[in-house]
Structures are given as C-alpha cells and as structure tokens.
Amino acid sequence: MIKWILQDTKRNLLKKKTIILLLVMFASIASSFYTFLTPEVYYDHFGNEIVLGDPDIEPTEDDMLIMAMMSSYSLINNKVPECSLITAESSSAICDQYNTFKSNPEAKIEHNDDSLVFDREEVWAYFFINYAVYFNSFDTSLMERNPESADFFKDKIMNYDKIMEITKKTLENLPDDYELVVFDFGVQSTEELNSAAIDFLEYYYLYENSLPMDAAMSLTGSFFISNYLNTFTPLLVIIGIILIFDSFYADYESGVIKTIMSSPTRRFRYLVLKSISAILSMLTVILIPILIVVIVLYIINGFETINYPVYISRNTLSSLEPVKKYSLVINAEMPGTAYSTFKDICTYGPVTRYVSDVASNPFGGGVACAIDANTFAAVPLSQYLGLVAIYIVLIVVFLASLNSLLSIFFNKSILNLTVLILIVAGGLTIANIFIGKSFLNYLPTSFLSPTQLIMGTVPFTYYHGVVILSSYTVLINLVNFVLIKRKDFSY
C-alpha cells in the first residue's frame, strides 16, 4: 500500500508541469523577498508610522534599547519618582542617561564598540522592573478596590496570566538594593493596559532569548514564511489544483482503471490511496521550496525568531463569531471597536495584520491604523505557523477530496481543471463581492485563507473555517464512496 502511494506520488511529481509549478513557487518566493527587503511602512500600537528597511531612519540596536527604557517610564510618569526603582550605586550612570533623554528626547547618544555609555543588563533590568511595577500595581489595586470584578477585568487584558507570570518572575529576582514601589493605579482603560502588554511581551521575549533589539526588523526564516503565507496562500491553492487535477486520468487512459475497479473493495481502496497520493504531491511541491529558504535564512542570520509574540484575533480559535462583525460604514451606531468594513488592512511589526476603521464624522479625527489592542491575543510565532500549517493541510485534503469527486463525474481532465478553478476562483470572488452576507458562512471557498482567519482581517474565524472545511471534506468523501461504487469504468 505505502509502495503504491509513493509510486503514484512520484508519477505526479515527474510530470513536466511540476517543473513549471516549482518555478512559479520560486518566483513567488523571490517576490516575497523583494517585498520584505523593500522599505515598508507599518504602524506601532499608537498609530505612528514606522518605516522598515530605510538605513537613514532606522535606529541602531543601542538606540532602540535606550529608547525602550525611556518609553517605559512614560507608562508610570508622575507616579514613581525619577530613578527611585534603582538605588544601587552602580546604576547612577543609567539615571544620568535617563535624565538626559527625558530633558532632551531628540539628543543623539554617541555609541562605540570600545565603551558604551550604559550597561546593557542594567538597562534591561530597569526596563522590566518598570513594567513589572506597572502590572503589579494594577493587580494590587484591582484586588483591593473591586475583588468581586477582578476576573471580569482580567479577562479583558491580553494574556493576563502570562503577563503576571513575567511580572512575578521579575519581582522575585529583584536585587536587595532595588526599591519596589507600588503606586495607586487609579483608572486606566483596557486599551492602555493591552498596549503596555504588547511592549512587555515583545521586549521580554528578546531579552529571554538574547536576541538583538532590532530582531523584528530581521529577515529570519519564521518571519519570511509568515509574510509569504500572508500574501501567497491563494497562489498555493491554485498550484495544488493544477498539480492534481489529472491524477486519475492517466489510469483511465492506460486502462488500468478497469482492473483496479473490478471489485467494490478495490474501488474504495483505490479512492483512498489516490487521495493520499494527491495530498502528498501537493504538500511536496508547496512545502519543500519554503523549507529550503527557511534553512538558508537561519544559516545566514545565526538566530531564529520562532517564538516571537504575534497578535491574532482574540476569539478566532474558540468561536464561530468574529471579534468584529461586518458593517458597510463605521459610525457611532456601528463603532470600530465592534464592527469593520474589512477594507483597510494595516500591519503591526513583522507579521501581524489587522483591520482598522476610522469613524466618519464632520470634524474628522481618528488615527489611521490605530490598533484596537482589546481585540488582540498574543501567541508565539511557532503556534501561529503551526495553526497555518494545520489549516493548509486541511485545505489540501479538501481539494484532494473535491478533485476525486469531479474526476468521478468527468471523463476529460480539462473539464475537471476548468470546474475546479471555477469553484475556487468563483467562490473567492463571490466572498469579496458579497462580504458580510450570511450565506458566505456556509461556503467552503469563504475559508481558504488561514492567515486572514487567524488575524481577523475577514469576518470569519479560524474555528469556523475548520468546522466548515472539515464538514465539507467528510460530506464529499461520503458522496465519493457512493458514486465510485456505482461508476461504470467499462469505457
């Protein structure tokens, strides 16, 4: 059985079209490289433009580390006395450095390889103690003021348990000569807390993994594959279709199908093995070029960002309802916190995509691409890629099942290809034209982009997609078993 599957897979891969499809794959990879290396604008969580790839404005790693420490103070400005968290004598230079930046934020600090003006570990320590104090004070204030509602508020904070785990770890390792301050937290919005959580998670990951501060601007293998899949998933679907559409017809033309189909048992077995062969063929052509590039990038960079925190739609993994529903317009009745037109897709950091809507009003206002951090959940990049990989396999299995169904119906491979492309391309077009319509919730072609489902840039969820594609795959295969039992292969 395994030998037959491998032989059939080999036969699929040795066709001339496979070479063409591989060239298309590498061309798309080259295009993705160009896009990644070209200066690109994305937005921080305050809606400010950040340009990647421009050496004239990109800060150095040392600049970023100092500025990270400085920006952290803004979280508790006027709450904690200057440098009161660091009372160690050896840290006085950091306080001087801090005050220099505070009094003149535009000042350029001169760095050289022989002697830095600050101690890197001490800056990191100061930075994380600030965040730890921030979240520790929030937790303390919450429990003191309204313990009955604590769980409700904690559920609104992104990855609250992880944040408090890092906070506890930081404060437990606090040196004896550091003074711990707990301030009266007062009233804060969940958006401010979630924005702080984004910074805390990202910088803590860099620190724990000894990565450079500008790692998010590096072309690592995991960042590359994430951006590639963000852009080229529809192309991968088309490549899969073209690769397998004629997998049954070689057996038809050679007459082997008549022998194979001589008994019901053989028919079922043949259908299963043929589907497995088609799945392996698609995965081989799609994954091998991508894996080669990832390995090369790892060798070049010498480090990976596989567990870098990225942000996905908060309920996409657990609910059929998207965190934001579709609305033709955004206004006071249909606010951007709960609705979206799904037209404006913005970028945060190297991977995350999200929808951003600015309410229309006669006075203007609003910040384009401002992040609604309340709709985010942080996951490691490895988990994100794992979710995408699982979903791509689900798409491949669905396509293989659909191809088997059409191959039973049509005696000509060109008819099979035409119908497959019409179903997929037509379905994607319909999903764009009729976005927001309820019937799209039941069409499998509405759920062919795992990255959009995970990020929440379409009005569906990943969980919804898994349910729909799995259901259609099971249904199609049940129909296949019935049809192949009755199919006349005597022609």
Same domain, 283 and 417: yes
How much is the average pLDDT of 60-87? 43
CA dihedral 406, 410, 414, 417 (to 10 degrees): -10
Domain's final residue, options 182, 213, 244: 213
Given a cut of 60, whether residue 7 has pLDDT beyond it is: yes
Strand-pairing partners, residue 348, are: 352
Q: What is the pLDDT of residue 2?
A: 80
- Both tokens of 471, joined, read 């259901």
Same domain, 120 and 259: no
The separation between CA 345 and the C-alpha centre of its own chain, rounded to angstroms, equals: 14
Same domain, 234 and 191: no
Which amino acid is located at 159 in the chain?
Answer: N
C-alpha 245/C-alpha 241 separation (Å) is 6
C-alpha 403/C-alpha 319 separation (Å) is 30
Match 């860099």 to its residue by tokens.
Answer: 206
Indicate the length of the chain as a whole number. Answer: 491
Looking at the domain assignment, is residue 252 inside a domain? yes
How much is the average pLDDT of 219-242? 86
Domain's final residue, options 213, 234, 259: 213
Q: Which three-class secondary structure state does DSSP give residue 394?
A: helix
Strand-pairing partners, residue 248, are: none
Match 């313990």 to its residue by tokens.
Answer: 147
* pLDDT tens digits, one per residue of 313-369: 989 999 999 999 999 888 878 887 788 999 888 888 788 888 888 654 443 344 567
Any residues with CB less than 8 A from the CB of 369 and at least 6 apart, and which?
43, 47, 344, 346, 356
Same domain, 92 and 185: yes
- Both tokens of 173, joined, read 């390792």
- The pTM is what? 0.78
Same domain, 10 and 86: no
Q: Which tops the pLDDT comparison, 391 or 182?
A: 391
Q: What is the pLDDT of residue 36?
A: 66
Using a 10 angstrom Cβ sphere, with 0-12 exposed, 13-18 middle and 19 or more buried, the burial of residue 286 is buried
Q: What is the pLDDT of residue 199?
A: 80
Strand-pairing partners, residue 354, are: 346
- Under DSSP, the state recorded for 109 is P
- Under DSSP, the state recorded for 14 is T
Looking at the domain assignment, is residue 267 inside a domain? yes
> Containing domain of residue 150, as a range?
59-213
- Other Cβ atoms closer than 10 A to 184: 10
pLDDT band at 61 (very low <50, low <70, confident <90, very high): very low
C-alpha 315/C-alpha 461 separation (Å) is 8
C-alpha 293/C-alpha 398 separation (Å) is 27
Cα dihedral across residues 204, 208, 212, 218: positive or negative: negative
Helix, strand, coil tally for the chain in percent (to 5): 60, 5, 35
* pLDDT tens digits, one per residue of 252-282: 766 666 666 665 557 777 778 888 888 888 8
Counted domains in the chain: 2
C-alpha 366/C-alpha 360 separation (Å) is 9
Domain's final residue, options 167, 192, 213: 213
Looking at the domain assignment, is residue 462 inside a domain? yes
Element (H, E) at 387: helix 381-409
Any residues with CB less than 8 A from the CB of 430 and at least 6 apart, and which?
440, 443, 445
Looking at the domain assignment, is residue 347 inside a domain? no
Looking at the domain assignment, is residue 351 inside a domain? no
Same domain, 16 and 121: no
Same domain, 301 and 400: yes
Same domain, 437 and 293: yes
Percent of the chain residues topping a pLDDT of 70: 70
Any residues with CB less than 8 A from the CB of 188 and at least 6 apart, and which?
138
